[in-house]
Each structure stands twice: as C-alpha cells, then as structure tokens.
Amino acid sequence: MRGRLGEIAALFLRLGTTAFGGPAAHVALMRDEVVRRRRWVSDEEFLDLLGATNLIPGPNSTEMAIHLGHRRAGWPGLLVAGVSFILPAALITLVLAWAYVRYGSMPEVGWLLYGVKPAILAVVVQAIASLAPRAARTPSLLALGAAVLVIAALGGNEFLVLLAAGAACIALRALERRRGAPGAASLALLPAAAVTTAASAPAAAAPVGSAALFWPFFKIGSVLFGSGYVLLAFLQAELVERLGWLDQAQLLDAIAIGQMTPGPVFTTATFVGYLLGGTSGAVVATSGIFLPAFVFVALSAPLLPRLRTSWIASAFLDGVNVASLALMAVVTLQLLRAAVVDVPSAVIGLVALVLLLRHGVSSTWLVLGGALVGLVAGSLR
C-alpha cells in the first residue's frame, strides 16, 4: 500500500506542478499517464470516471485525480491524489499572492495587470464560445440558457438559478419521455429564482474571519458545475456584490493568477483568501472550495454505474451546464469595464481572442504576452 501511495503522490505532485492549460489538458495528461503509461485503468474505466465527474459539482480535473487515487489505493489513495494535485498550484499561487500584496502598488505591476486583464477576458470569451454549442445543443436548452441570461442580468440569485435550471430540464426531459409537447412549460420553474433579486444586492463589507471566509468558498465548491471559468461568476456574485470583500479589478487579478499557474483554476481561492486574511485566509479559502470535491467523489464512487445511466441525473446536468454558461456570460460583460479601459487594452483583448479562436494559441502564452505588452505600454508613457 505504501508503494502505491508513494507513486500516486509522485505522479500527482508532478502533474500539479506542470499541468498548464485548464481541465481538458489536465485530463488528457492524466489519461496518458494512468492509461497508456502505467495501465492503472483501462480507457473504458477512465471514461466512466470522467462521466462521473461531470455529474457532480466541483473542479473536474481535481475530481479525476481523486477518483484515480481511489481506484489505485482506496480511501488513502483518494486523499493523497487530491492533496498532491492541489498542493503545488496552491503554494505557487500563495507566493504570487504575497508578491501581489507587497508589490502590487508599484507602477510596473499595474501596467503588467493592464495587459493581463483583457487577455484573461479573451480566454473566458473563448471558453464560452467553445462550450456554448455543447451546452445549448437543442432548441429547448438554448431557450433555457436565454431565460437564465435574462434572470441573471436582472440580479437573480445564481445558486437558485442553477437549481431551477436543473429542475426545469428534468421536467422538460420527463415531458419528452412521455411524448408530450416539449416547450416553455418547464421554463416556468425559472422565475422563482428571480424572486431573490433583492437578496443579491450588494451588502456592506463584512468582517473577514476564518469561519466567515470558509463558508462562501465551501458553498461555491458545493454547487459549481461546468468549466472552471464559471468560478468567475460565483466569485463576482458572492465576494464582490454580496459581501463587498473585493472589487472587480481585484477579482480579475485573482482569475489572472489562477490562469497563469499550473493545476486547478480553483486555486484562485488561495489568492483571494490571502488578500482577505493572509496565509491563514489562503489555507481556509483553499480548504473550503476543494473540500466538497473530496466528499462528492467519496459519495459518488460506489454509485458510479447508476449515475451514468440515470436520465434524471443527465437532465439535471444539462440544465445546470447551460445555466452556468449563461451566468458566466453575464459576468464577463460586467467585467469588461474593469478590463477594457481604453483603446490599447481593447486591442490587446481582441488580438488575444483572435489568436485563441483562429490559431489555438495556449492561454498561458497569451497571459504572459499580455503582461509583456502591458509592461512595454507602461514604459512608453
């Protein structure tokens, strides 16, 4: 057992240190290591685990690491794999957060972020563009996404919007299975989410203690489906609008740091936690956002065969995914004001978007390029 735990730790520490490119790239690297090179699981088993991660909230690539650790060495392997994959990125992010707090007021850092923010926004737009055809692949799902878009723009509570969208999609799928008329009837469940608009209004800045910091991140980790970039929408709603702990510029900086580092994008929580509560805040926020992933994998692993064949789980996931994408689109539009402040920053964003959409340039290189352009722009002024 110790030998297996050692090889699990070695593999996922290495992946957590070197795996750039987002969840899809992480999953591809894991498949290469555990299917092709080490033969821990077959391709069929790997796809089973990947399907299971899509049916539970949380960061998909981290949950894949946790599942693979469980398959290889049981419950101890589950913990070792997850912690090993998260730890390197969290430590790198912690160092960058310290540097940001200490040197962030320097003009050079301001110009660096000036170039990075529009590049990051382009990465988010590209993610939305690539995910949209799969999430809204039917007219009904497209209508559901449009309804969520309107409700989110009006200030609807994002957690209730997600739940209502999942329930609406289950109702729609049930009608289709009974050969009833699929249509707008199931979308009637959505307006209930808009009733909470007043609850999502900005609150006065709350004091940030360890317990206060843990629960928002735990809540986000417990309900967040879809791409890691959907995290942007939840952090905006929870930390910027409700609690007033961050402003939009700081949120973009946090997302930029999460994108520049290897491993899971959810280590953005490490950066935010450090801003709000120092090293202890970083530990609390990171623990809060990743803890649900361990719990959900532990609970779902024995139920994996049933989850894969359940039309109810599949329908709920379809509704939540398209709603997540709509929330992400609304927040992206709101963040344009913080990222695109003049013509040069708009040009940086447009060039980054073209390079992503037409040439498939790595988002890591785009972020680094944006930083370089920002520094050059600062030196010319």
Q: Quote the longest CA-to-CA distance of the chain.
A: 66
What per-residue confidence (pLDDT) applies to 100?
87
Say which DSSP state 190 is in: T
pLDDT in tens, 223-262: 887 656 678 788 888 898 888 898 888 888 888 787 778 8
Is 50 exceeded by the pLDDT of residue 21? yes
Distance separating alpha carbons of residues 187 and 172, to the nearest angstrom: 8
Assess contact for 299 and 275: CB atoms under 8 A: no
Distance separating alpha carbons of residues 59 and 217, to the nearest angstrom: 13
Sign for the CA dihedral angle at 224, 229, 233, 238 comes to: positive
Mean pLDDT of 32-38: 87
Q: Which residue has the higher pLDDT, 291 or 255?
A: 291
pLDDT in tens, 326-357: 877 887 787 787 788 888 889 998 998 899 88
**CA dist 180 to 169, 172, 185, 186, 272, Å?**
14, 9, 11, 12, 48
Residue in 62, 38, 40, 39 with CA at minimum distance from that of residue 50: 62
What per-residue confidence (pLDDT) applies to 200?
44
Is 70 exceeded by the pLDDT of residue 205? no
- Could you count the other beta carbons within 10 Å of the beta carbon of residue 110? 12
